[in-house]
Amino acid sequence: MKLSIVIVNYNVKYFLEQCLHSVRKAIKEIDCEVFVVDNNSVDDSCEMVLEKFPEVILIANKHNKGFSSANNQAIRQSKGEYILLLNPDTLVQEDTFIKTVRFMDSTPDAGGLGVKMIDGNGVFLPESKRGLPTPLTAAYKIFGLSSLFPKSKRFGKYHLGYLDMNENHEVDVLSGAFMLMRKSVLDEVGLLDETFFMYGEDIDLSYRIQLGGYKNYYCSDTTIVHYKGESTKKNSLNYVLVFYNAMEIFFKKHFQSRIIGLFSLGVKFAIYLRAFLAILKRFLTAIAIPAIDATLIWLFFILLLPHWEIHKFGQNGIYPDAYTTIIVPVYILVMLLSILYSGGYDKPYKKLPFIRGILVGFGSIFLFYSLLNENLRFSRAMIIFAMLFASMFLPLLRLIYKKLNVSGYNHILRKKANILLAGNADDAEKTIEIIKGNLDQFNVVGRISDTSNDKEKLGTLDDIADIVRIHRVDEIIFCSTTLTTSEIIDSMMLPELSRISFKIASPDGIAVIGSSSILTNNDLYDIEINSISKPINLRNKRTFDIAFSLILLIFFPITLFANKPFGKLLKNSFKVLIGKRTWVGFTPNTKANPPILRQGILHPAMDKKRTISDKTVEKINRLYAKDYRIINDISIIARHRKHLSQQ
């Protein structure tokens, strides 16, 4: 057998499905076997593989073994001359395997091979070619010198920025997203080091291939899409800690013995400093836009106040200092929370939820104002002026963010974004069915197709750049049944489409996925319109948890008589309050609970008096998560209030 492909999956069913469809097309002319190793996903990934890809060898783990261990499971069973480690959030071209295997066949000293990768927006991913992260090279990256001087042969070694991405090169490190290796070389140098749970294992294995006397190559002859970050939440604290822990493991394994004293401590300090700065950056990024909004509104009050005092009272100093130091900040906090819970700070930015949040926020402020004592009721006119300022200037500020290419605002959509479909009439109809729950945000301008007898099309793929310009298209959805992966990737890489968002509809018409990241559900459309995984639903659920916990604690002398033992109710309330538990979670089963929710005190299947199968439990959980409403949690709590004290 020529090739064995190994894909490790964890809760990315839709990406895995599209990946396997692209792989199926690409292996038609190669003697090949495909493994999917599932690390105990709870999104029906295994069921999807068994149903739609019976030719795939599925290894279903009962717990998450990590990336290295899962890959090794399949490698040990593989029969191919070459082993390819492939991420589930990738799409390969129809000739990718032919070209890469041919390269390996013609290059006897090649131990491993990587390819040119782009993200879901068609942007080249620099990790396609990397240098060895020696302590010095790592230090250049940690302290930002590699970003400042990407083309420098000294400072740009981490991503080898001085090498042409459109030419083939010898490199040090291959990306684990696409890592093609000779089986004989793996037999010689060993498999992936399972000390690395996730991240760093590709660097370690690439280095060991070189130590074994072989070379690693970057092949630009073919391009794949890598939805970078889909398998993990890269904006999370856990990601930062795991990533930099992997850096330390690699450093200790390969360089510790060569470096002594203060330099060794210095590199370790640099790793932890970088981890801290990464966490700080994520925190500041999360609060930056709301903080700017709050500052501008507060400054508006400060600047307007003296003019209003002169106009209204004929002199300054009428309003006490508490007005600008306490009352106004409270007003601003109410408004920011309203915008947050309206989805106005979700990315990508949408104007309607933002304006709705402002209006609801100021409505709440007026209500709050009416409840204050007479001596604390200051000018209503000031509140109205601030509302007008926020409604007009803050949306304008978002356009400035777009010009500055600020993440989340660089693809600001109009009230109804213009979408172009690429595919035949039948596939376009399926795609519209998927996104119909979002049609209030979209305007389908038309369709392009290479079908000769298609009279309704706007043009062909060759005309795509002109059609995008003429119709002011914001987003293109490719139908993967009609188009080849190569056609899709070639279109995504057109420089004329650099400002466009891309998505790809799955062949079975179940989901549309895309963008460079799926850290929010705005980048994935499926039949589950109001999924619990939506940011606004997770926020609402967490807010309800906090509010209900506070109610129980405030009225504890009363509630304790209805819930025994008393101590457990108190303990559960505090656990939910600090975020360790949720009042209503998924029904537990022999599998791990879906990671999107904390473990629940109560669950949807508590009405069941007998033991139910895991399959039934999964169905109940899907129904609970598919169309989430807070009223569902309230109903479950009302029916099972006597169980609030259970562990």
Does residue 244 sit within a domain? no
| Model confidence pLDDT, tens digit, residues 522-552 | 444 444 445 676 777 788 888 888 888 888 8
Tell me, what's the pLDDT at 108?
93
240: three-class secondary structure by DSSP? helix
Indicate the number of domains in the chain. Answer: 4
Does residue 476 sit within a domain? yes
User: 634: which 2 tokens?
Assistant: 């309230």
User: Which of 403, 429, 451 is the last residue in one of the domains?
Assistant: 403
The CATH code of the domain that includes 110 is: 3.90.550.10
Segment of 74-88, 319-333, 416-430, 543-557 carrying the highest mean pLDDT? 74-88
Does residue 629 sit within a domain? yes
Segment of 74-88, 153-167, 416-430, 494-508 carrying the highest mean pLDDT? 74-88
Tell me, what's the pLDDT at 412?
56
Tell me, what's the pLDDT at 499?
78
User: Do 313 and 380 share a domain, yes or no?
Assistant: yes
Q: Is 536 exposed, middle or buried (0-12, 13-18, 19+ CB in 10 A)?
A: middle
Residue 346 contacts residue 520 (beta carbons within 8 Å) = yes
User: 569: which 2 tokens?
Assistant: 């109710």
Mean pLDDT along residues 426-439: 74
Tell me, what's the pLDDT at 340?
87
CA–CA separation, 256 vs 258, rounded Å? 5
Tell me, what's the pLDDT at 116?
95
∠ CA 542-547-553, nearest 5°, is 125
User: Do 516 and 548 share a domain, yes or no?
Assistant: no
- Predicted confidence (pLDDT) at residue 230 exceeds the cutoff of 50: no
Per the structure, the complete domain to which residue 600 belongs is given by 535-643
When mean pLDDT is compared across 141-150, 440-449, 522-531, 617-626, the lowest value belongs to: 522-531
Mean pLDDT along residues 470-498: 88
Short-list 387, 480, 415, 640, CA closest to 22: 480
Does residue 109 sit within a domain? yes
- Predicted confidence (pLDDT) at residue 281 exceeds the cutoff of 90: no
Strand partners, 182: 82
Token pair 């932890």 in the structure block, residue: 272
User: Do 112 and 29 share a domain, yes or no?
Assistant: yes
User: Which of 339, 372, 403 is the last residue in one of the domains?
Assistant: 403
Tell me, what's the pLDDT at 314?
84
User: 201: which 2 tokens?
Assistant: 């294992």
User: Do 474 and 579 share a domain, yes or no?
Assistant: no
Does residue 134 sit within a domain? no
Instruction: Quote the DSSP letter at residue 463.
Output: G
| Model confidence pLDDT, tens digit, residues 567-603 | 677 888 888 888 888 988 888 765 544 456 778 888 8
Does residue 37 sit within a domain? yes
Mean pLDDT along residues 312-325: 86
Does residue 236 sit within a domain? no
| Model confidence pLDDT, tens digit, residues 201-221 | 888 899 889 989 999 999 999
- Predicted confidence (pLDDT) at residue 253 exceeds the cutoff of 70: no
How many residues in total does the chain contain?
A: 647
Residue that wins the pLDDT comparison between 270 and 97: 97
